[in-house]
Amino acid sequence: MIEEFKKYLQYERNLSVHTVENYCRDVAQFFAFVSKPNSKITSNDISAFILHIREQGASATTSNRKLSSLKAYFRFLAKKGKLKHNPAEFVEGAKQEKKLPRPVDVAEIDAAVEKADNLRDKLMIELLYCTGVRRSELVSIKVQDINYQGYIRVFGKGGKERIVPLAPATMDMIAEWLHERKVEGEGDPTYLFPGRKKPQLCAWQVGAIIRKWRGNTAITPHKLRHSFATDLLTNGADLRTIQEFLGHESLATTQRYTAVTMEKKLQDYKKFHPRANRY
């Protein structure tokens, strides 16, 4: 049923390849642990598995993701009539500390772009910061999604489409990259970032590319997305506009960035105001 679940995630839920692989890997890990058929699984089995991986050193974030995968799997089986109820439905996840996203300094981003020795990787870093796209969205950008008036179409979670503007300098980099590819005649022409053996790069490869050029900085694809949002908000952009750019379903998700900018304001106040540290 894992193969059927995989098809369901791909074609009915329309999830990214990276997400589908994670879901299926988590489910397979669970069944390696319990060694029972679907019909014999209980909520106690699922709780025992979650406890086991926590004891093995998994973080609350990781264990909650695996629990979400199991909930989705058993919900799928119930929906297809393979089970009468979902044994994972009432299993609770671990409480997670809500951490504020930490934006990356623009100078560090510029340094990573400068350090990259090829145009593809430079453009990849630039796009992650200048558009705020997720890495799964980045590798899914098709050449036909680029509008040379200055924006791209991005397809996010659930295949939801949004429009994200591009700076002129970023457009120039894209044009240069496409010209370079055309001259060399390499890669599938469909995707902006083609893979060597597949039509497009995999999402995990984006992380590896960023790690290659970030030096001693904390740059990751996700932190570049955070920086995109935080820098827009700091410089006066409307919260709902940022929500649209990021593809957030809920404004509450976007509002996390207001806390980040407030924290920065407090730091600046304490650092620069002559009365800030007076007792």
| Domain 106-269, CATH number (from 3.90.650.10, 1.10.443.10, 1.10.760.10, 3.40.50.300) | 1.10.443.10
Q: Which of 66, 135, 225, 226 is catalytic?
A: 225
How large is the average pLDDT for residues 9-14? 84
6 is catalytic: no
134 is catalytic: yes
- 18-60 pLDDT, tens per residue? 889 999 999 999 999 988 888 899 999 999 999 998 888 888 8
Is residue 83 scored above 70 in pLDDT? yes
179 is catalytic: no
pTM for the model stands at 0.64
Going from N- to C-terminal start, the domains of the chain cover 2-79, 106-269
Q: Which of 73, 129, 191, 257 is catalytic?
A: 257
153 is catalytic: no
Average pLDDT of the chain? 86
What's domain 2-79's architecture?
A: Orthogonal Bundle (1.10)
Q: Which of 8, 248, 265, 275 is catalytic?
A: 248
- 34-45 pLDDT, tens per residue? 888 888 999 999
Contact, 35 vs 49, CB < 8 A? Answer: no
Q: Which amino acid is at 193?
A: F
Q: Which of 134, 214, 223, 226 is catalytic?
A: 134
Name residues whose C-beta falls within 8 Å of residue 217's C-beta, 6 or more positions apart in sequence.
104, 105, 108, 111, 112
11 is catalytic: no
- 113-134 pLDDT, tens per residue? 999 999 999 999 999 999 999 9
102 is catalytic: no
How buried is residue 68: exposed, middle or buried, by Cβ count under 10 Å (0-12/13-18/19+)?
middle
Structural element, H or E, at residue 162: strand 161-165
Candidate from 72-86, 130-144, 170-184, 255-269 with smallest mean pLDDT: 255-269
Contact, 221 vs 135, CB < 8 A? Answer: yes
